[in-house]
Amino acid sequence: MINHQTLASLTGILGSRLVTSASDLALHGRSESHFPPMPPDAIAYVHSTQDVQDILCLCNQTKTPVIGWGTGTSLEGHTAAPQGGLCVDFSQMDQIITISPEDMLVTVQPGITREALNMALRDTGLFFPVDPGANASLGGMCATRASGTTAVRYGTMKDNVAALQVVLADGTIITTGSKAKKSSAGYDLTSLMIGSEGTLGLITELTLRLHPIPEATSAGIVAFDTLHQAVDAVTQTIQMALPMARLEFLDAASIAAFNAYAGTDMPVMPHLLFELHGSTQSVAEQAELFGDICAELNGHDFKWSSKTEERTALWTLRHNGYYAILASRNGARAIVTDICVPISKLAKAVDDTVKDIDASGITGPILGHVGDGNFHAILLIDDTNTQEMDLAQQLSDRMVQRALDLGGTCTGEHGIGLGKRKFMEREHGPAWDIMTTIKSALDPNNILNPGKVIK
Amino acid sequence: MINHQTLASLTGILGSRLVTSASDLALHGRSESHFPPMPPDAIAYVHSTQDVQDILCLCNQTKTPVIGWGTGTSLEGHTAAPQGGLCVDFSQMDQIITISPEDMLVTVQPGITREALNMALRDTGLFFPVDPGANASLGGMCATRASGTTAVRYGTMKDNVAALQVVLADGTIITTGSKAKKSSAGYDLTSLMIGSEGTLGLITELTLRLHPIPEATSAGIVAFDTLHQAVDAVTQTIQMALPMARLEFLDAASIAAFNAYAGTDMPVMPHLLFELHGSTQSVAEQAELFGDICAELNGHDFKWSSKTEERTALWTLRHNGYYAILASRNGARAIVTDICVPISKLAKAVDDTVKDIDASGITGPILGHVGDGNFHAILLIDDTNTQEMDLAQQLSDRMVQRALDLGGTCTGEHGIGLGKRKFMEREHGPAWDIMTTIKSALDPNNILNPGKVIK
């Protein structure tokens, strides 16, 4: 809760940019996933680092919870306000500060979305590669250590943030990292902030690594008789170090949903979608090599193309995957699971998950970034049916247990938020206590996104 | 200092592996660089995580300083014991625990050296790429966030450590990371430990990322009339995203030293050395592309080869660079400087440094990993001549100031230790306080490598 005096002081700082209208609170309390609404008490539409500093100084004194907000596309209840408090909405702090093409870096405010960023970069010959699917804000992507389809080639947010400006709980402004490509100068606070989900500080500026737009891009698709063959193709490809730019798995149920959604007639069996970036010659060479790997595993209907329209059609399919699957059951909501396992355990993890879902009676197509060992089941539920909700939650929990048993992690890219906190002890053991120790040292009043990530 | 009772308890834990002989203490108190000897009071030759835990529990109770030791090749006084205490020598904890070729990972004890590791991996078709020059231990390389010649392609230790086992100051054993390729599960403690120079914990196990040994390797050399042309060639190459596996700069003075040391007759002018990894076709293609870039900048004497002997000869030259330069002045010692700047500032940084060194009267050839914007001057000094020592130290300090003025860092790869601590405030501002806050939270008695890195 925010008391009246704090609210008055916040209005003093922000004027009409401090909002408490019921509709706006409701909007900032809901989630794209299955969590019940948990609205904040007020929303601050910040315009500057100074705004954020002023807010945090005040909220730290008054022990008011502060929750960062980008575009609200996170999936584990990261932006929920279970204790109320102030939502700091960065959507109006969305400017590009500097583009440094020579250093292949760009410095941005946290509210810019990845599509807006890449649009602004289009004349530089450079792009920012991390693509979690949703048109998320860069601040949010950094806070959750997002990744997505291109991580297999370009890495995750962890690999693509050079420097940060962060406002800490007490209003201290720090900068971490630099524009130098590497450094051994002390603790890596940049990496500590990436993935801390707004519990250690609020990101007010990001310097991001850019990559040259490839001379050529080829994309393709291939079908397999069995899930095992598809996964084996992935494993072999990764082990040969073929530089796939994207490598996505879609199970037969996902393909059926696509066919129904988009009127396509792909064979209803497991597929791999892929993309390659490089010179005209190298993408052709690599597509052929990948084709050879697939052929050895009875892959069929192998198609690839370097033509923009054909590539776009293919990836539109993938990007609409979530909606196609959602549409396959009228009025359904989805629990989107997210695990990541060592690549050697991928076949077993997918296999056991499919069997478990099949036995449960829940519909749950599987797709994912298998080049990284990361995949999702999209569990379709009627969220008014508690039995179904429970069944789906149990399925999701068993997926995590399976991932941990196989040496993997409870979340490859969605983060902890509220939803995965129950697995932190099991995954990290005493290292979770250390996270809590760090949190307490940096935010002794526990005002930053309380109830998330740590104990 | 270690008191008698603590010494007796340590002997109880370690038996004859607790050593206090004068010669061994002297050996562990000296440094490869210019720091005066600062020996510990005793050395513990540990054999297991349990040993390390027992030692830390005891030393934390008795507030005894504890300093980790790998091979003693660090350059900024990291292993010095200015307050005495216990040196924990990991050289006998040098086993490979598991090789997981399917996941391209290896789990090792911290005392194994990178050459021993790569020797053990040679039948797997995989290798560990980080190469700081010295045959350092992997634990030490991780503790200093080492990099070296191959970082331009494969990244630094930051990019090549998947998981760690670490014993904290109070004896708590934690594991960070996992064998999954990525994770969004909480704070990135792995990255926090990498580069913390033994001030947050002692690393007892590392899981490292391996890479396929390339099908083909080509290496070459090219001379330039001016330093600017050489550096421009580097900048253009990086901006074209040519995947150089190594890209090293050597100034005319370095070449002169090589000629004298190895009896070669290379033209005494700035050179670039490079290496490419890939398919037979791609390394040839890329060598040609790189040749074209160099030719545009009047590069001459361009030579490249895929033959093992010719490549080895070329890189032996580079690896002996330090010794060749050291040998160019009889009885000299060296201050090895280390800065890293944004690639767009590289030409200015090198240029200004050369001018500064020339004006000082000190001999100081320049070489470095310019593909990353990182370079070193090897300042030759007579360490009994205080005036020379001072001059060289001032040169080194001005290099750092220059790097910081240009948006770079005071150390690209050597770390902070004792030598660079004075620049931490300037480089990090209030973020240095935050490092200190984290240190105090994790090591409240300040027993782990006291006097290094933090305030």
Angle at A31 between CA A26 and CA A34, to 5 degrees: 120
C-beta of residue B206 within 8 angstroms of C-beta of residue B105 = no
Q: Are A439 and A219 in contact (CB under 8 A)?
A: no
Instruction: Please answer yes or no on whether A180 and B410 come within 8 Å at the CB atom.
Output: no
What is the per-residue pLDDT for A358?
Answer: 95
The whole-number pLDDT of residue A279 equals 86
- pLDDT on residue B279: 86
What would the pLDDT profile of A13-29 be if each residue is shown by its tens digit? 999 999 999 999 999 99
Confidence (pTM): 0.97
Distance CA B113, CA B73 (A): 11
pLDDT at residue B15 is higher than 90:
yes
pLDDT at B282 over 90: no
pLDDT bucket at B313, cuts 50 / 70 / 90: confident
- Strand-pairing partners, residue A89, are A45, A69
A100–B158 CB contact, under 8 Å = no
Number of H-type helices and E-type strands within chain B: 17, 19
pLDDT at residue number A201: 98
Q: Per CATH, which fold does B96-212 belong to?
A: 3.30.465
Contact B333, B32 (CB under 8 A): no
Read off the pLDDT of each residue in B195-215 and give the average, rounded to a whole number.
Answer: 97
Interface probe with B: pick from A78, A102, A156, A184, most Cβ of B within 10 Å: A184
Give the separation between CA A187 and CA B454, rounded to whole angstroms.
9
Mean residue pLDDT across chain B: 95
Average confidence (pLDDT) over B207-221: 94
Give A236's contacts in chain B (Cβ within 8 Å).
Answer: none
Instruction: Select from A341, A373, A431 the Cβ nearest to the Cβ of B175.
Output: A431
Structure confidence at residue B306 (pLDDT): 86
- Smallest Cα distance from A287 to chain B, Å: 15
A375 DSSP β-pair partners = A339, A368
Yes or no, beta carbons of A183 and B412 under 8 Å apart: yes
B240:A212 CB<8 A = yes
d(CA B191, CA B177): 9
CA distance A250 to A149: 13
| pLDDT above 80: residue A346 | yes
Apex A198 CA angle, A193 and A203, nearest 5: 65
Residue A383 near residue A423, CB atoms below 8 Å: no
ipTM of predicted complex: 0.97
Cβ contact, residue pair A423, B185, below 8 Å: yes
pLDDT at A281 > cutoff 80: yes
Q: Which residues make up the CATH 3.30.465.10 domain(s) of chain A?
A: 96-212
Nearest to A182 among B147, B430, B437 (CB): B147
pLDDT on residue B62: 97
pLDDT at A33 over 80: no
d(CA A223, CA A303): 10
Cα(A88)–Cα(B70) distance, rounded to whole angstroms?
A: 47
Residue A137 scores a pLDDT above 80: yes
How sure is the predictor about A318, in pLDDT bands with cuts at 50, 70 and 90? confident
pLDDT at B60 over 90: yes
At residue B116, the pLDDT reads 98
pLDDT band at B315 (very low <50, low <70, confident <90, very high): confident
pLDDT above 90 (res B318):
no
C-alpha A341/C-alpha B183 separation (Å) is: 9
Cβ of B102 within 8 Å of Cβ of A424? The answer is: no
A77: alpha, beta or left? (left if phi > 0; alpha if psi -120 to 50): left
pLDDT tens by residue, B381-431: 998 899 999 999 999 999 999 999 999 999 999 999 999 999 999 999 999
Name every chain B residue with its beta carbon within 8 A of the beta carbon of A151: 182
Kindly state the percentage of chain B with pLDDT values over 70. 100
Residue B33 has pLDDT above 80, yes or no: no
| Segment B130-175, tens digit of pLDDT | 999 999 999 999 999 999 999 999 999 999 999 999 999 999 999 9
A380 touches A362 (CB < 8 A): yes
pLDDT at site B150:
96
Q: Residue B200: helix, strand or coil by DSSP?
A: coil
Return the pLDDT at B433: 98
Does B435 contact A186 at a Cβ distance shorter than 8 Å?
A: yes
Q: Which stretch of DSSP H or E encloses residue A79?
A: none
Going by pLDDT thresholds of 50, 70 and 90, the confidence category of residue B58 is: very high
Confidence of residue A410 (pLDDT cuts 50, 70, 90): very high
Q: Distance (Å, rounded) from C-alpha B297 to C-alpha B450?
A: 49
Nearest to B102 among A343, A423, A428 (CB): A343
- Average pLDDT rounded to a whole number, residues A31-48: 92
Q: Quick check: B67 and B87 in contact, CB under 8 A?
A: yes
**Is the Cβ pair A412, B196 closer than 8 Å?**
no
CATH 3.40.462.10 positions along chain A are 216-405
Q: Coil, strand, or helix at residue B353?
A: helix
Secondary structure of residue B336 in the 3-state scheme? strand
Separation of alpha carbons A308 and A282, rounded Å: 17
Architecture of domain B4-89: 2-Layer Sandwich (3.30)
pLDDT band of A277, cuts 50, 70, 90? very high
B240-254 pLDDT, tens digit each: 888 999 999 999 999
Which pLDDT belongs to residue B317? 80
Contact yes or no for B438 and A343 at CB 8 A: no
**What gap in Å lies between CA A84 and CA A39, rounded to an integer?**
6
pLDDT mean over B256-284: 92
State the pLDDT confidence band at A314, using cuts at 50, 70 and 90.
confident
Q: E-assigned strands of A227-365?
A: 244-250, 271-278, 300-305, 333-336, 339-340
Written as six digits, the tokens of A263 are: 């009127």
Chain A nearest-CA residue for B124: A239
Residue A171 DSSP one-character state: S
- Predicted pLDDT at A205: 98
Residues A150-188: tens digit of each pLDDT: 999 999 999 999 999 999 999 999 999 999 999 999 999
Which is nearest to B113 in space by CA: B91, B98, B97, B129?
B91
CB pair distance less than 8 Å for B434 and A442: yes
pLDDT for B252-266, tens place per residue? 999 999 999 989 899
Query: Chain B partners of A436 at a C-beta cutoff of 8 Å?
Result: none
Mutate which of B102, B126, B168, B187 to disrupt the A interface (most A C-beta within 10 Å)?
A: B187
Q: Do residues A43 and A17 lie in contact, with contact meaning Cβ atoms separated by under 8 Å?
A: no
Span A218-233, average pLDDT: 94
Domain boundaries for CATH 3.30.43.10 within chain B: 4-89
Q: Is the pLDDT of residue A381 over 90?
A: yes
**A185 closest CB neighbour out of B240, B344, B416:** B416
Q: DSSP state, A412?
A: S
More confident site: A36 or B56: B56
Nearest neighbour of B174 by CB, restricted to A241, A431, A454: A431
In the structure, what pLDDT confidence band is assigned to residue B35 with cuts at 50, 70 and 90?
A: confident
Write the class of the CATH domain A216-405. alpha beta
Q: Do B182 and A344 touch (CB under 8 A)?
A: no
Average pLDDT over residues A412-440: 98
Side-chain-side CA neighbours of B237 within 13 Å: the count stands at 35
